[in-house]
Amino acid sequence: MEGIRDRAVIRNLFSEAYRNIDINIDEIEKREFGIGDFGKKIVYRHLAFRSESQLKNFLIERTPIYISYSISYYQHPDRPMDQKEYIRADFAIDIDESLDRLNIIKQDIFELYDILKSEFGLQRIVINYSGNRGFHIHVRDRWIQELSRDARAAIIDYLILRDVKIEDIGIIRKDNLLMGPRYENMKNRMQARLLRSIREITGNDRVYLGDWSDVDMQKFALALERSRFRISMDSNVTLDQTKLLRMENSIHGDTGFIAKIIDINKLHDFDPWYDAVLFEDREIRVRMIEDYICKKYGVELKRDHSYRLKGDLGVFLLLSNRAKLI
């Protein structure tokens, strides 16, 4: 977004919106923050705030276009990396996906949530819409926050089925015959997913899985591929403890959407255009730079035409460079 006036208008809108947004951040004084401006998600980092009200004032007065916070907690979040004194870190999963696949994303998040809850016994799982594409899952149970990098890697490896060998799921190989375990003996959910795919592929639902020559080990690779979650999870985000992620309830500078915390029970019906928008009560006059169809308002907007639009759509079009202010 180039125009100086456009930028000033957007910043004012954000600033006003922040007056009405509640900021609740776990141990805010131990988090590092990073802020960005138009076109650049992080311009400064190593910022710290003593309290939620201090942060809120900052958001109203300085109004960054993007703001992220650390998944790590530090003794001195405002110091350079090597002097911060790491304490612990959320276990975070970054799901970066095009929202066209929203239903698949939701299904996989449900399953993932359930595994974290029922297998890992985790209680403090927060699902956070990123404000643009995808979602973040933050897990804040103390024991998982205190895990080492290697231990986190072991959990991620499990969740994304990395480096799985056929013996790991209790399949015994005798010559070219593979003997599978019974479904009810499956030790965990990921194993069960995998066994289910193997059975789909081999068309065999009994213990005996058929005669697999070495070549057919490709079937195992295929089964592995099919059993994985379809959402792309960036394991680097989970393992890189210096990572900054979109701050919950902040406004995303690519969309004007709010990075909202979503209750798992409301995930099924979640639609950012209805559940994560601001400025609906305003009107904005824009001239289109390109064609755009908005399903929510049922309008087809034509290039080079001018429109008076609802604030959420207007801000979205301005930020995504599809329109200019008149």
Partner 1 sequence: MLITRNDSEILAITVLYYKLFLNNVRILYKLMLNLDTSLINEEKIRANSERVWNEIPNDRSIDRLMIHVIFNILRNKTNKAREILLNIYHRTRGANFQIVPSKLRIEEYLGISVHPNLIARKIREGYIELDNDEIVNVRVDMMLRSIKKYVDSNRKELQEMFKDWLPKAIVRTIKSYPPCIQNILNRISSGENVGHYERLVLGIYMININKEIDEIIEIYRQLPNFNERKTRYYLEHIHKNKYKMYSCEKIRQLGLCVANCGINTPLQWKG
Query: Residues in the site for partner 1, rule: CB under 8 A?
Result: 118-122, 143-144, 146-148, 150-151, 153-155, 157-158, 161, 163-164, 167-170, 187-188, 190-191
CB-based burial label for 319 (10 Å; 0-12, 13-18, 19+): buried
Closer to partner 1 by CB, 33 or 220: give it. 220
For the CB of residue 116, give the shortest distance to partner 1 in the complex, in Å. 10
CB of 232 to partner 1, least distance (A): 19
Burial readout 196-209 (b: 16 or more C-beta within 10 A, e: otherwise): bbbbebbeeeeeeb
Nearer to partner 1, 45 or 152 (CB): 152
Nearer to partner 1, 2 or 167 (CB): 167
**Smallest distance from partner 1 to CB 179, Å:** 16
Closest separation between CB of residue 159 and partner 1, Å?
Answer: 9
Nearest partner of 38 among 258, 253, 245, judged by Cα: 253
Residue with Cβ nearer partner 1 (188 or 321): 188
Q: Least distance (Å) from partner 1 to the CB of residue 192?
A: 11
Residue 48 C-beta: closest distance to partner 1, Å: 27
In the complex, minimum distance from the CB of residue 127 to partner 1, in angstroms, rounded to a whole number = 20
Q: Which is nearer to partner 1, 156 or 251 (CB)?
A: 156
Smaller CB separation from partner 1, 153 or 299: 153
User: What would the 3-class secondary structure string for the chain be?
Assistant: CCCHHHHHHHHHHHHHHHHCCCCCCCCHHHCCEEEEECCEEEEEEEECCCCHHHHHHHHHHCCCCEEEEECEEECCCCCCHHHCCEEEECEEEEECCCHHHHHHHHHHHHHHHHHHHHHCCCCCEEEEECCCCCEEEEECCHHHHCCCHHHHHHHHHHHCCCCCCHHHHCCEEECCEEECCCHHHCCCHHHHHHHHHHHHHHCCCCCEEEECCHHHHHHHHHHHHHHCCCCCECHHHHHCCCCEEECCCCECCCCCCECCEECHHHCCCCCHHHHCCCCCCCEEEEEECCCEEECCCCEEECCCCEEEEEHHHHHHHHHCCCEEEC
Question: Closer to partner 1 at the Cβ: 146 or 211?
Answer: 146
Residue type, 282: R
Residue pair 54/83 in contact (Cβ under 8 Å)? The answer is no
Looking at the Cβ atoms of 83 and 118, the one nearer to partner 1 is 118
Q: How far is the CB of 82 from partner 1 (least distance, A)?
A: 14
